[in-house]
Amino acid sequence: MPDAALRAAHRVVVLTGAGVSAESGIATFRDAQTGLWERFAAEDLATPRAFLRDPALVWGWYEWRRMQVLRAQPNPAHRAIAALERRVPALTVVTQNVDDLHERAGSAAVVHLHGSLHAPRCFDCASPFALPPDPPCEPEGGRRLAPPRCARCGGAVRPGVVWFGESLPADAWREAGQAASDCELLLAVGTSGLVHPAASLPALARRHGATVVLINPVPTALDAVAQHVLRGKAGELLPALLETAFG
Ligand code: OAD
């Protein structure tokens, strides 16, 4: 049973995707109708080429998403993951999400595989850029907004996220790979398992002997890798799993 495996595990990895933030009102990418890539063209918004072609379109869209995150609150799934960190000797959260809801729920060790909406940098020289606390109030989808200029070199500031065609941050990927190889249990929550290399982490953990537990309301590409598949919403199933495992 997944609760017994969780209770027995000393080293745990929680791999999260957009589904973990869905109950906070943050859109996922691929859910029918509501997913961002169902409503917006990824090739116009999430590639280096798109930014070079139309920086204001891309910057405005990411500022709209950042504003949504700033207005959102962590949900019971984020809070259960933070609580789990206090129950097991070593827990690493590896997230594909670019929001900061895990941190705001109290998770201390969060590896951001796909970067962060809150850490933009210069497109040219990679210097970090300090964002103003309040982004402009944006309509649905954002409006075109010229990106700020880098104080060091004058280049355009870009969102601090990983775009299609870009490599993952090397340190984050190394840390995630190590944690997945070393863990006794990997819990994959709210991810379609379609984007690699993040999607390869459950299989890596399994090859190294870990128990893989999956939480998702619908079947995913990762189901075949998991010993236990829990079908439902993260905000309901994660607190219930903790309750059964630890009382
Ligand atoms: P997806 O949108 O591909 O998948 C979200 C998953 O969450 C789906 O399998 C949903 O069924 C599930 N889901 C929805 N609501 C849920 C809930 N309440 N509880 C649990 N699960 C729920 O998002 P990701 O797998 O995170 O990359 O996508 C991976 C990457 O693709 C993203 O990080 C992003 C995107 O392009 C970059 O931005 C680099």
Q: Atom 36, ligand 1: which residue's CA is nearest?
A: 29
- Torsion of the alpha carbons at 55, 56, 58 and 63, rounded to the nearest 10: 130
Measured in angstroms, how far is the CA atom of residue 190 from the centroid of ligand 1?
A: 6
Going from the Cα of 18 to the center of ligand 1, the distance in angstroms, rounded, reads 4
Rounded to the nearest angstrom, the gap between the alpha carbon of residue 93 and the centroid of all alpha carbons in its chain is: 10
pLDDT value at residue 179: 98
Beta-strand relationship, 157-161 and 228-231 = unpaired
Classified as helix, coil or strand, 242 is helix
Scanning the structure block, which residue is given the tokens 């859109």?
A: 27
* Number of neighbouring beta carbons within 10 Å of residue 242: 19
Measured from CB, residues less than 6 Å from any atom of ligand 1 are: 17-19, 22-23, 28-31, 35, 96, 114, 161-162, 190-192, 194-195, 215-218, 220, 233-235
Q: Which residues are catalytic?
A: 114
Residue 163 to residue 102: CA distance in whole angstroms? 21
The residue whose CA has the least distance to atom 6 of ligand 1 is 191
Please report the pLDDT score of residue 138 as a whole number. Answer: 75
The CATH superfamily label for domain 1-25+74-115+168-247 reads TPP-binding domain (3.40.50.1220)
Closest CA to 15 of 88, 84, 74, 92: 92
Pick the atom of ligand 1 nearest to 42's CA.
36
The alpha carbon of 208 and the centre of ligand 1 are apart by a number of angstroms equal to: 25
Q: How much is the pLDDT for 46?
A: 97
The fold of 27-71+121-158 is: SIR2/SIRT2 'Small Domain' (3.30.1600)
Q: What angle do CA 109, 48, 176 make, to 5 degrees?
A: 20
- Burial grade of 47 (CB within 10 A; 0-12, 13-18, 19 or more): middle
Mutational pocket test of ligand 1: of 29, 51, 65, 220, the residue with most ligand atoms within 8 Å of the beta carbon: 29
Question: Given the structure tokens 């984020």, which residue do they identify?
Answer: 78
Distance 103 CA to ligand 1 centre (A): 18
Question: Based on C-alpha coordinates, what's the Rg of the chain?
Answer: 18
Helix (H, G, I), strand (E, B) or coil at 47: coil
| Nearest ligand 1 atom to alpha carbon 28 | 2
Matching CATH topology for 1-25+74-115+168-247 and 27-71+121-158? no
SS3 at position 230:
strand
Where are the chain's structural domains?
1-25+74-115+168-247, 27-71+121-158
Can you tell me the distance from the alpha carbon of 44 to that of 21, in angstroms, rounded to the nearest whole number?
A: 24
pLDDT of residue 153: 98
**Tens of pLDDT, residue by residue, the chain (247 residues):** 899 999 999 999 999 999 999 999 999 999 988 999 999 999 999 999 999 999 999 999 999 999 999 999 999 999 999 999 999 999 999 999 999 999 999 999 899 999 999 999 999 999 999 998 776 777 788 889 999 999 999 999 999 999 999 999 999 999 999 999 999 999 999 999 999 999 999 999 999 999 999 999 999 999 999 999 999 999 999 999 999 999 8
